[in-house]
Structure formats: structure tokens, C-alpha cells
Structure 1
Amino acid sequence: MHDPGPAFRALHRKGDPFILCNAWDLGSAKVLAALGAQALATSSSAYAFTRGAPDGDLTRDDALAHAEEIVKATPLPVSGDFENGFGEAPETVAETIRLGAEVGLAGLSIEDTALPGDGAYDFDLAVERIRAAVAAARALPRDFVLVARADGILRGSYGIDEAIRRLKAFEAAGADCLYAPMPESFADLERICTEVAAPVNALIAGPFASYTRADFARIGVARLSLGGSLARVTHRALIDAAEEMLEEGSFSLLKNSVSGAKVDGMLR
């Protein structure tokens, strides 16, 4: 099997962030690749939209099947959004790593949220889960980039100090990339980049979409992921056009559509 890991790992350079483009189906994956994306990722929320389900309602088998489809869509390396590893036990997380590698992923991310709730796993358990994930990744016959996520700021279960405490522990456990989605400020994101040595991923959503790649490079970010942001942009267009049609009987927003020929060319 082709090993996408080394090329994917090489993209992670502090202060020179690449854009990790989150795709949600074959078409979006192929279009992003045609437009010059260097790597793709899945998004649990964006994929759930395509299944008519809210984020968090899909199973590990769902995520694996979707990831394999995205992997096969283009030659680009793909990282998997695998939520909390689909189980609490460290052994379950380790198995998720092995299964993700089997479908061809170049890496995947594991968060510390005790799903289906919003609370975080106890610190010691959160670290043990990442330690088990790292051990599973290192035992693979090929390279694999493991991202450890501290999601407590996003979920409202802890603040920046605890997020950094966890990220440092995840780094010590061997995680390749660190990620605390949606810190309260750009200054907090800079603090994260300063206080850890491993590459840091930043989520481009909400107020962080107001900054440029150069801004993120200046503070030392290594990777810029989109999560469900790009998928939500398409839903914004869908909702706006449908509301205009169904509520006003007008179709002016359809004039903004891209030509079918252009999309066909990218899909070829």
C-alpha cells in the first residue's frame, strides 16, 4: 500500500501553515484537489450533514467507510476526524487508530470529549487514551500522524490553562500534532503555539476566519483546518437560494451558480 504518511507529516511546519481542506463527499474531495489542496480531511459534522444527521450521531463504521471513500477519491493524503475515538477505553482508541490506518488514512485526530455529552474525560484518562493511540500508531507498518485534541474550550468544560496543560501532556505522550479548537482569542492561540513544541492545528471558523494565513504563520501555527466551515458555506448558499425561491418566488441567487462544465472538468 502507498504510504501517505511521510508527505503528510512533511507539511506540518511551525510558522508555515498549510490548509487542510475538509471534504464531505467524493465531489468536494475531487474539486478541492483540482483547485490545489495539498491534503484533505474528513469532518464529522460535514459528513453528518450529508447523512441527514446531527454531528455525533454516526458510528465508527460510518466514519471508516466515509474516510475510505475520501482516501480513494484523490491521490492526496487524508486525515480523519474520528471524534473521541468512538469509545472511552484506551484500547478502543488504539483499535480506532489501527482501523483508520487500514482504510488508508495518513493520520487522524482524537479528542478528549466524553461523548455523547460535552464534558471532558478526566485528565489522567485523557492522557492514557492518547498514550494508547500513540502506541498503536507507532506499531503500524507505515507512518501515521496522530493529532491530539483538547476540546474543553470549544465545549465549555475547561479554559485555556487546562487546555495547555492537556496539550503538553499529550505532547509528552508522543502526539504528532496538537489542537485546541476555538480558543477565546487570537492571543490565546499564540500562547498555545508558544508553550508547546509540537506543530499546532488551528480551526478556521467563527472569528478566526477574519485572520489570514500570514497572521497564523506569524504566531507559529503549522496547520489550518476548516472543520465543517466549508460545508456550512455550501449550506448557506442552499438555504439562501431555497428561501428566496420558496418564500418569494424569485430565483436571482441561482445566477451565482458555477457552470456545470467547470465542475465536470474538475471531477474528471
Structure 2
Amino acid sequence: MTGTGTGTGTSSVTSAVTAFAELHRAGEPLLLPCAWDHASAYALAARGFRAIGTTSLGVAAAAGLPDGASATRDETLRLALTLGSGPFLLSVDAEDGFSDDPDEVGEFARELAAVGVVGVNLEDALGPADRHAAKITAVRAAAPGLFVNARTDTYWSGDGSFPETVRRLDAYREAGAHGVFVPGLTEPGAIGDLVAHLGDVPLNVLHSPAGPALPHLADLGVSRVSLGSLLYRRALGAALEAADDVRAGRVPGGGTPTYEEVRALGD
């Protein structure tokens, strides 16, 4: 299948967004790998991933900018423009929307949808829940078809309070979020309780080497598992290991695409 692109009609955009939403199935979660440039996205698509996200850390690090500081609005939109017409469904990590003004966040979402993006991830950064809810409402109004994944950072950078997590997520789904995201949540019992509380609202968690594996998350009823910045960090780590191996006179290990294979990603 192809991305929605800028030149397609409303029906094509709607069908793409619907297809993305339908990939969120409790017990059969969408595994969402996250790209940081054209090559990484197209290589993942070639491996059979129908939907691909972006990683805000990868976008920020590649540009020499801080992640989570609302500094990469232009870079994020530029990547969305590059990938929005690709042969996959694209969801963009938009940090906190790059503004505290809900109308500005709504306008950014409209720009994303216009270039073929079908989903957006918005994080609350533990700011006021009512402000984040207002952003979600603004996004739904400005880009009605965009799948809104509302993230709370209660477990990622907060104290991991389950009641506070529920309070925030309830506010976000009431504001119109299609799905909710709780990175840092890894305890199986809490994941199962949250799935039960949310009902038919898809729960997204972040894959963690210390947490449940994908089959276990499926058994718990999770609907989406994001890889976040993992692939970007692994790619960077592999590059450093290869450089060290060559310097030490060793042959670098691991898989290495050929020059021709990588070049073909740009065709």
C-alpha cells in the first residue's frame, strides 16, 4: 500500500487513517518501529512494516538539537514531508506539539495531515492535564482524521502513580484522543489493570528490555507497542562498535547492508 501523500483525495486520506486505526488491536498489538530519516523508514517498510513512526530523539540528535525542548518543529515537519507519501502509514512524534498554545498545536497537526501523516503522538511532559486536553481538542478540530495518540509521562519522568495516570488518560480520551500512551509502564499487573480501565481505547506502551516481551504484552491486551528511540540508539551503537573493531584490526560483526542496497532506498 502507499502513503496518503499530498496529491491524493479526501477519500484516500480517510482510508489510510482508518487503516492505521484498525492496526490497533487488543491482543494483537501494532509493533511500531520508529525512523529518523528517509533511509531508515524505507528500509523498515521493505521489511514489511505497514506503519512506521518517527523518533523525536533521532530527529533532534541528527540536527544537533535537544529532544523534548520544543526545538525541532521545523525538522519534524520536514521529515514528515519527506516520508508522508511513502509506502507505509506514518505516525509522527510531535513532542508536546511544539507550543503551549492549543491553536498553534492544532495548526501544526493540520500541516502534518496535509503532507500525508495519519497519526500524531502528543506528550504532556507532566504539564497541566487540562492544557494537554485542550491541545488534543484543537488537533481534532484542525485535523479531524488524524489518529491522536495522547502520551502521559507519569511513568517516564514522574513518580509512576497509577491513579494520576488514570486521571490524565481519562481527561485525554474525553478530549478526543483515539489512543493513549504510557512509556515507562512495564509492570504486567498495572498494564492489565489499565487495559481493563480503558475499555475499547487502545493502550500504547514503549518496548523495554526490562519489561514484558511482545507476546506477553499481547496477552495483557496492549494494542500498540512503540520502539521509540531504540533503533536509532542501536544504529549509533553499531556504528561505534564497527569503528572500534576496524581500529583494533577486527572485522566488524553484525549485519551490514551493501552499498547498492542502501543506494536503492533513495530511488
Shorter chain as normaliser: what TM range? 0.7 to 0.9
Task: Tell me, in whole angstroms, the C-alpha distance in 2 between the residues paired with 1:28 and 1:255.
Answer: 17
Aligned to 2:216: 215
1:37-48 alignment to 2 at 5 Å?
A: 37-48=49-60
**Which of the numbers 25, 29, 35 marks the counterpart of 1:13?**
25
Alpha carbons of structure 1 residues 121 and 54: separation in structure 2 relative to 1, 3 Å = closer
**Residues 17-51 of structure 1 deviation map (CA, whole Å, 9 limit, x = unaligned):** 12112111111111111110010111111122322
Alpha carbons of structure 1 residues 8 and 256: separation in structure 2 relative to 1, 3 Å = closer
**Which of the numbers 179, 183, 202 marks the counterpart of 2:185?**
183
Amino acid of the structure 2 residue aligned with 1:204: H
CA contact (8 A) 2:32 2:225 kept: yes
Matched, 1:122 2:122: no
Tell me the TM-score normalized by structure 1: 0.86
Matched, 1:151 2:153: yes
Alpha carbons of structure 1 residues 112 and 232: separation in structure 2 relative to 1, 3 Å = same
Amino acid of the structure 2 residue aligned with 1:124: D
1:203-242 alignment to 2 at 5 Å?
A: 203-208=206-211, 211-242=212-243
**Which of the numbers 169, 172, 177 marks the counterpart of 2:171?**
169
Task: Report the 3-state secondary structure (helix = DSSP H, G, I; strand = E; otherwise coil) of the residue aligned with 2:252.
Answer: helix
Task: Tell me, in whole angstroms, the C-alpha distance in 2 between the residues paired with 1:61 and 1:256.
Answer: 33
CA drift of 1:206 comes to: 4.0
CA drift of 1:6 comes to: 1.5
1:66-145 alignment to 2 at 5 Å?
A: 66-72=79-85, 74-113=86-125, 120-138=126-144, 143-145=145-147
User: Unpaired segments of 5 or more residues in structure 1?
Assistant: 114-119
Matched length: 253
CA contact (8 A) 1:46 1:227 kept: no
**Residues 188-227 of structure 1 deviation map (CA, whole Å, 9 limit, x = unaligned):** 222221211201111113423xx33221111111111111
Aligned to 1:117: none
CA drift of 1:53 comes to: 3.3
Amino acid of the structure 2 residue aligned with 1:92: E
Amino acid of the structure 2 residue aligned with 1:134: R
CA contact (8 A) 1:24 1:42 kept: yes
CA RMSD of aligned residues (A): 2.1
Matched, 1:25 2:27: no
CA contact (8 A) 2:205 2:222 kept: yes
Aligned to 2:62: 50
CA contact (8 A) 2:130 2:171 kept: no
Alpha carbons of structure 1 residues 229 and 47: separation in structure 2 relative to 1, 3 Å = same
**Residues 210-252 of structure 1 deviation map (CA, whole Å, 9 limit, x = unaligned):** x332211111111111111011111111122223344xx3232
CA contact (8 A) 1:34 1:266 kept: no
Identity score, percent = 32
Alpha carbons of structure 1 residues 256 and 8: separation in structure 2 relative to 1, 3 Å = closer
Amino acid of the structure 1 residue aligned with 2:90: V
Higher helix share: 1
CA drift of 1:182 comes to: 0.9
Task: Report the 3-state secondary structure (helix = DSSP H, G, I; strand = E; otherwise coil) of the residue aligned with 1:153.
Answer: coil
CA contact (8 A) 2:129 2:171 kept: no
**Residues 122-173 of structure 1 deviation map (CA, whole Å, 9 limit, x = unaligned):** 23223222222223232xxxx3211111112212266222112111111122
